Amino acid sequence: MSTVADQVVRRLKEMGVRHVYGVPSGSWLYYMEAMRKGGIEFVLVSNETSAGFMADVTYRLTGIPGVCYATVGPGATNLSTGVGGALLDRSAVIALTSEPPEAMIGRTVQMAIDQQALFKPLTKWTTRLTVDRIDQIIGQAFRTALTEVPGPVHIGLPEDLGPKSAPHGADWSGPPSVMTTASVRDVDLKLMEARFLKSRKPILAVGLSAVRAKVATLIAEIAIKHRIPVVLTPMAKGLLPEDHPWYAGVFFHALSDRVAETYSQADLVVGVGYDPIEFNYEEWMPTVPLLHLDSVPADIDRNAYGDVSDITGDIRTALRRIADMAPLQSGWDQKALANRKMAMFQLMEAPKGSFGARAALEELRKALPADGIMACDVGGHTHLIGQMWRTPGPGLQLMTNGWSSMGFGVPAAIAAKICRPDKQVACVTGDGGFLMMAGEMATARRQKLHIVFVILADRSLDLIRLKQDKKNMPSYGTKLYNEDFPSAEYVFGVPVIVATNVEEYHTVLAKAFEMDGPVIVEAKIQGGDYDELILRKHK
């Protein structure tokens, strides 16, 4: 007879799920056994937070909700960090946690807290599974997670539920339909056209929702036809490559003041899938009209910015209308834009013979194939990567910006290699972020994943140190360790190769990419390499 665990796993597989990430518990064993027999791989991780980040990245790279699991109490609280990442980085995730049996809800129980209350502010929907509503709950969970704006759903699994007999599920009709994005009203399209034609120096401010809408080709077409610059948010990197003639940079990362020289000249901002979860409009916008093209209205202070037009609905439809318009009488000086971009990238070039973050990233970019995937952690290097890392297509550079949690980079790279085994994958992390996730080296080794983990080892939380400098505060509480110590030869079985200068690093990277399994490249870089490049005023 089919059990609840069997039916849950069967439905997950029918939804396209191929991996579930987590740390098991006793009550989870029934689901693990069902997965073993049913063709879904359970990926054991070292920390439940990683499971949430891996599920997030799985959705980003496959379009199928990622699934993660944690046990009751401490497992759930660990998982909540990864689930919060899925919420604010807009990823469809199904988070499963064990919960006390129904009869024990509200009682004093070891390890137990109110996990429905815990996950309510971190998810789009949270519920508990019951025997008679398995198909309904799983179907609704996937539909809710995938419907715009995507995000996580939490399902509590009562600890006594897995081995119980399940109904036949005769009413199951396959994966549920997902609510499609509403059509854009014709009156809004006409308003958009009139506003656009009236402008002479519009910019396209392209954000995270545009990645999901898969509108890279349309954005490039509009930029060329109407001769207007494109500025990207960090998580939209790749929607327009850096060598495109109308690419103008990334908001708020290195040399953001140089990017501001462009958008501050605009007489109209066209926000294309611009999600303020990365940065609010008010942080940078000149006081000009805004056309906001997205599935939801703009979150903006309308007292300060009164001239806001929400073109809500299908982003592609709105962009197609702009692309089909007669060419705009653009007032932009393309040569000046090109010179500004070239000067910006030249400023980010590593000084000859130096071995700081810039040199490390330059060499890694040369070693990683153009279609390789690079995942990065949070820190000073993130601000540099956001501007200088050449990203020829969407999904080739993975970062967190809505949530911005340290520790993201290592599990993100692992999930990327699991989902895209044909791609070369690298991870860039500071030594602070690596300290948080070093245990996942065991996961990478167990899965036999060829990933090059590059640790930019400058022995401090350099972004915090830099922020202290900007506020004229002495460096305090940011050193990770006070003295040098010998580098490890292995971390949980993963070999470590050390580089202390750019020549060694070049050789080490070549060796690392030729290896079969995971490898750590410890790049002992000079600190403060980007002090003059990041945290610059952009408005």
**Res 537 pLDDT > 80:** no
Least-confidence region, from 106-115, 281-290, 434-443: 106-115
CATH number 3.40.50.1220 given to 186-341: yes
* Residue 309, phi then psi, degrees to nearest 5: -115, 120
Half-sphere exposure of 285 (CA within 13 A, CB side): 28
Written as one letter, the residue type at 8 is V
**Res 539 pLDDT > 90:** no
pLDDT tens, residue by residue, 147-165: 999 999 999 999 999 999 9
In 3-state terms the chain splits into helix, strand, coil percentages (rounded to 5) of 40, 15, 45
CATH value of 4-158 in 3.40.50.300, 3.40.50.970, 3.30.1360.120, 1.10.1370.30 = 3.40.50.970
Q: Which two tokens stand for residue 216?
A: 């890279």
Dihedral sign for Cα atoms in the order 332, 333, 338, 344: negative
pLDDT tens, residue by residue, 208-262: 999 999 999 999 999 999 999 999 999 999 999 999 999 999 999 999 999 999 9
Is the fold of 4-158 the same as that of 186-341? Answer: yes
**Res 416 pLDDT > 70:** yes
**Mean pLDDT, residues 194-204 taken together:** 97
| Class at the top of the CATH hierarchy for domain 348-523 | alpha beta
Cα(35)–Cα(41) distance, rounded to whole angstroms? 6
Cα(138)–Cα(136) distance, rounded to whole angstroms? 6
Q: What is the pLDDT of residue 144?
A: 96
**Res 18 pLDDT > 70:** yes
Sequence ranges of the domains in the chain? 4-158, 186-341, 348-523
247-250 vs 152-158, strand pairing mode? unpaired
> Residue-wise over 35-64: b if at least 16 C-beta within 10 A, else e?
beeeebebbebbbbbbbbbbbbbbbbbbeb
Q: With bands split at pLDDT 50, 70 and 90, how would you rate the model's confidence at 412? A: very high
**Res 173 pLDDT > 70:** no
Q: What is the pLDDT of residue 491?
A: 95
pLDDT tens, residue by residue, 463-485: 888 888 888 898 888 887 777 77
Q: Taking a C-beta distance cutoff of 8 angstroms, is the pair 451, 375 a contact? A: no
**Res 486 pLDDT > 80:** no
Q: Taking a C-beta distance cutoff of 8 angstroms, is the pair 426, 508 a contact? A: no
| Percent of the chain with pLDDT strictly greater than 70 | 98
Q: What is the pLDDT of residue 470?
A: 81
**Res 399 pLDDT > 80:** yes
**Res 170 pLDDT > 60:** no
**Mean pLDDT, residues 197-212 taken together:** 97
List helix spans (H) across 397-479.
Answer: 409-419, 431-437, 440-446, 462-470
Q: What is the pLDDT of residue 172?
A: 66
Question: How much is the pTM?
Answer: 0.95
Q: Taking a C-beta distance cutoff of 8 angstroms, is the pair 373, 416 a contact? A: yes
**Mean pLDDT, residues 356-380 taken together:** 97
Q: What is the pLDDT of residue 171?
A: 60
